[in-house]
Amino acid sequence: MKRFGQIGKLKPEKKDEYIKLHENVWPEVLKVIEKCNISNYSIYSFELFCFASFEYHGENFEEDMKKMAEDLSVQRWWKYTKPCFEQFKAAGDDEYYIDMKEIFRMD
C-alpha cells in the first residue's frame, strides 16, 4: 500500500462550485476510483487550497490512473472539477494537483 498527499489551489470564483460538486460525488465516479485500487480518499480545504490524501492498494499505479483517465464518467466529472483549479505552471500545463512528499507518519 502506498499513501499519497496532494495539494491544489482553487480559483477564487470556483471554490464554492468545487465544494458543492463534492457534496454529491457521482456514484459511477466513486466506483471507478475503487476499481483503480484507491481507498481512504479525503479532500480537505483551507481558503483556496485543497489537500487530498488517499491510499493506493494496487500493483501498477500508472496503469490504474490510465484506466481512470479513460473512463467516460471520470472524463465528464473532470470537465466540471478541473476548471476549478489554477494550474501549477512549474509542474506542467496539465497539473492541477501536485504530489507532496511524505515527511512523517505515525500509524
84: left (phi over 0), alpha (psi -120 to 50) or beta: alpha
C-alpha 2/C-alpha 22 separation (Å) is 24
C-alpha 107/C-alpha 100 separation (Å) is 19
Task: Grade residue 89 by pLDDT with cuts at 50, 70 and 90.
Answer: low
% of the chain beyond a pLDDT of 90: 82
Domain assignments of the chain as residue spans, ordered by start = 2-99
pLDDT in tens, 14-48: 999 999 999 999 999 999 999 999 999 999 999 99
Q: Name the residues annotated as catalytic.
A: 22
pLDDT at 34: 98
Task: Grade residue 98 by pLDDT with cuts at 50, 70 and 90.
Answer: confident
What's the grid cell of residue 18?
A: 468545487
CATH class of 2-99: alpha beta
Summary mean pLDDT of the chain: 93
pLDDT at 78: 96
Pairing of strands 49-56, 2-9: antiparallel
